[in-house]
Structure 1
Amino acid sequence: MGTKKYRGIERKQARWGFVFVIPAMLFFSLFSFYPIINAIFTSFFDKRALSKLPPKFLGLGNYIRLFDPSRASSDLSFLNSLKSTVVFTLGTFIPLLIVSLILAVFISNLSSGKTKKFLQISYYCPAILSSVVAATIWMIIFDPRGLGNQWLNALMNTPGVDRRWLVDPVMEQVSTMVIYFWKYIGYFVILFITGLASIPPTIYEASTIDGATKSQVFWRITLPLLKPTVVLVSVMAMLQCLKTFSTQYMLYTNGAPRAPINVITFNIYVTGIRDQYLGRASAMSVVLFIMMLLLTLLQFKTTKSENVEY
């Protein structure tokens, strides 16, 4: 009788748990699953935003057009957007991962609690700003008379030189990387600090008794035990870089977007909103979604290991 009564209670709890989960599932389905399915469906048609004509079925025509080599010479081509996205992601993702880990270790090793809190708040402050505000701040810094040129010229002893941050193609890419790095570095530093705090201090005490150096402690103890956090941060940073949009949009003025800032998300906006080719923009969205999914699975597979035990 006791077992049956216990199972009856479990069923009631499961039933009520399912009831409470239903609103979240409906909300998630409405704003996540439906747009994904609708984008996949629309990508097979030549659909225009304001056209009254019925969409024309193209099959894989939109996807073939995206990867057409004859269109690669255009700044608006998908292949150029793919290249710009890869360059931006690598140039931002790798420094974000490495520098945030270094800063987290440095802050965690400080003895003063007040200094720790001050640095954590200082690094995290840009993360609470919107991307538009962050880009606006740095556009002022990158002005020819702004602090960007002044600091770099003072550092390199080249007074009066304009680095053309927002004009030169290479410097424009660097500018977007700097803005994104500055905005999100504090967020990932906090994640690493949380991961470091979860490592029991007794392990470090044992390593000190055994005579391990700081370098050995980091490479043999801290980094292996921090692996779950490293995987989490790497996946989040990569996805954040792949879906960048607002920073590039703020640097865009008039006319056609320039190739260095024409990342995939920006190309989706230009193609779907400005030019009103919804089918082609949906195809780009599906390709970006598949890229993000495959890269995430690849990261999980390459970093797959047994659960960390202390």
Structure 2
Amino acid sequence: MYARTATASLAAAALLGVGALLLPTPGSRTPDTGPGAATGTGIRTVSARAAGASAGPPVVFAHRGASAYAPENTLAAVDRADRLGFDWVENDVQLTRDKVLVVVHDTDLRRTTDVEKVFPGRAPWAVKQFTAAEIARLDAGSWFGARYAGTRVPTLAQYLDRIEHNHQNLLLEIKSPEIYPGIEKATLRVLGRKGWLDPGHIRNRLVIQSFGAGSIKKVHQQRPDVTTGFLGTPAVADLRSYAAFADQINASFTSIGARYVAAVHALKGAHGRKLRLNTWTVNDAPTAVKADRLGVDGIITNTPDVVRRAIG
């Protein structure tokens, strides 16, 4: 999914406003009341909607965490989404040189860390060229704002610990699987070690997605009980073949219309439930309303509070 600058995201949030409520759920807490926070008390999204069919407004996924308000894919972004009252966060995982899964979007480290300063002779600074210990030295927050200086790139294990602590759920993207042989097995291994492959997590709290159809097929083959999503917009004629190994079609908003959403919903996914459609990356209120009217099941957004207000 595309990158969006913090400045543009914050400007959009300021212009559109924030707040409004969805249905409260058990264990909800008072959300953050700082800039970009939702108003009201005790608001959480209904977590089970992301994996199974149910009525109601679209599920709102915090894209790379609440990435309009904190540096993307960091624990700070996860915590910000939590304070805003959002159960579902989306992230990206890649493999280091020593085969450790880290949470970062770009296949190189330049945009969101100070890697060029710390390792000036290591161009092109690809994630796969660095060890986990080297990446742990990088500042992944200063690019976003001085208050986040010293924020680190988390490992997937660290990320899972934090969202478990926050009682959040995960839409996990396997990034660029074509350059990371074995990343599917490695991802499932970490998820299993951290307790995320038990029935409760699998049923309600975990979805694995990728732009690589082959990667999602591997996940489905290795753990057929896990909910999976394909990132992209397959032709309508091809949807049935994707439904054999995916439960969701997660498509760019600019690529879909009402007929496409209906075509997806007319099929059953890999687990015999209605094939679902989540759309990305929707960051403003008018587009969120349009997406809702198309009948999408979920909206992936950098500004989850803005989207919640629009569709709530």
Same fold (TM over 0.5): no
Q: Which has the higher helix share?
A: 1
TM-score (norm 2): 0.26
TM-score (norm 1): 0.26
Q: Which has the higher contact order (CA 8 A, sep 6+)?
A: 1
Q: Which has the higher strand share?
A: 2
